[in-house]
Amino acid sequence: MRTGVVIDSACDLPQSYIQNHNLHIMPISLHFGYDLFRDTRDPEATQAFYRKYLAEKTLDIETAPFSVEQIKTLFMEELVLKYDRVLVITIAQTRSPIYENAEAASRIIRTQYREQRQQAGMTGSFQLSVLDSKTLFTGEGVLVHEAMRLLEEEDILFGTLRPHIEQLSQHVHGYLVPEDLFYIRYRASKKGEKTIGLLKYHFGALFDIKPIIHFHRGESQVIDKERGFDRTLIKLFDIVRHAIQQGLATPIINTSYAGDLEIIRHKRAFIDFERYARDHKIEVLLSVMSTAGGINVGPGAFALAYIAGPPLNIVGGTNSANAKPAPNPLASAMEEGSI
């Protein structure tokens, strides 16, 4: 059984990882004036976009995720013939219509795929499942990373994969530190959101206050703040160190930066945290933030996500008799809402 995983381009993962694991991308298009930029997670193109367009702070940019018809076409012309089962993981439906579009397309695909496969001389059914990650950017990426690990290392049953990743999505904690509050304030005001209020924006801009924005289960809130970007990074990494001490469900910290990655790599706070994570057998991934993320949070923003632990049991089994489920079930903790 051939299994594929599809993501949207707002999912932050290193380009090398996306290529090595054959992840398929549903692009998000950005319209500004007569110009069009299609985000396919090309790091160099994204960097060029940041340099060229985001300097104009009030540039009117509209995002256009794949439509129902575009998703259906992608599957019917390519994926239905390449795979027997596909999992689609999308950005939180509270922030984008991608999940709803993918769900609508999946209902059409299930009624039309048989003829397509028969014409290609293929037999057997085609399974398609769509999952709302309930998170953004790096949070979506950390879920995709675990889905790929389960497919490649644990040989998990497809019917088990979706509910397992969905359960993990309840425990993804995503964080964002913006370099310039203007972008969040401007884009949020256009959408009617109030993550950063007008008074907080003016106060923050005046005193160089940077917030730490927490995203969990589809909702966001400011949980802390500090003066200056670098000092705020230190405070964020202290939060994550505590999470590592408490235990993570997966040994991955996924990070992204809206700009030249060498800038964040050379910051003392990042260097120290990367060393701390390595000492605790935690891998730190770093990628260029998607343009869909960058236009909303601005260049220079830093994002981070992890899945809080302990690990979940794989309920439903695997294809391999040698695959071992992860220890320490979360059932009681989840019922109590303590994680």
232-266 pLDDT tens trace: 999 999 999 999 999 999 999 999 999 999 999 99
Q: Are 10 and 97 within one domain?
A: yes
The encoded tokens of residue 160 equal 């088990």
Query: pTM of the full predicted structure?
Result: 0.87
Q: Are 10 and 27 in contact (CB under 8 A)?
A: no
User: Do residues 157 and 24 share a domain?
Assistant: yes
Q: How far apart are CA 228 and CA 207, in angstroms?
A: 9
Using left for φ > 0, alpha for ψ between -120 and 50, and beta otherwise, residue 39 falls in: beta
Please give the C-alpha separations between residue 39 and each of 12, 42, 78, in angstroms, as whole numbers.
Answer: 12, 7, 20
For the ranges 40-54, 101-115, 199-213, the lowest mean pLDDT is seen at 199-213
Q: Is 301 helix (H, G, I), strand (E, B) or coil?
A: coil
Query: At residue 23, what is the residue type?
Result: L
| Domain that includes residue 264, residue range | 172-307
Q: Are 184 and 205 in contact (CB under 8 A)?
A: no
Both structure tokens of 139: 């949070």
Claim to verify: residue 121 and residue 180 sit in the same structural domain: no
Q: Which position has the higher pLDDT, 287 or 192?
A: 287
71 and 219: one domain? no
Task: Please state the domain count of the chain.
Answer: 2
Specify the long-range contacts of residues 331-337, CB closer than 8 Å, at least 24 apart.
334/167, 334/170
Query: For residue 129, with 0-12 CB atoms within 10 Å meaning exposed, 13-18 middle and 19 or more buried, which class applies?
Result: middle
CA dist list (Å): 178 to 60, 192, 210: 20, 19, 7
Q: Output the domain CATH number for residue 146.
A: 3.40.50.10170
Please indicate, yes or no, if residue 298 is contained in any of the structural domains. Answer: yes
Single-letter code of the amino acid located at 47: Q
Strand partners, 30: 37, 63
Residues 133-183 pLDDT 10s: 999 999 999 999 999 999 999 889 999 999 999 999 999 999 999 998 876
* Token output for 324: 């071992």
Give the pLDDT confidence score for residue 205 in this predicted structure.
55
- pLDDT-derived band of residue 191, with 50, 70 and 90 as boundaries? low
Q: What is the mean pLDDT of residues 205-213?
A: 77
CA nearest to 111, candidates 87, 78, 75: 75
CATH of the domain at 187: 3.30.1180.10
The pLDDT value given to residue 208:
79
CA atoms of 203 and 144, how far apart (whole Å): 37
For 322, the token pair is 């040698």
pLDDT at residue 331 greater than cutoff 50: no
Looking at 130, 147, 169, which one is the last position of a domain?
A: 169
Residue 289 is given by DSSP the state P
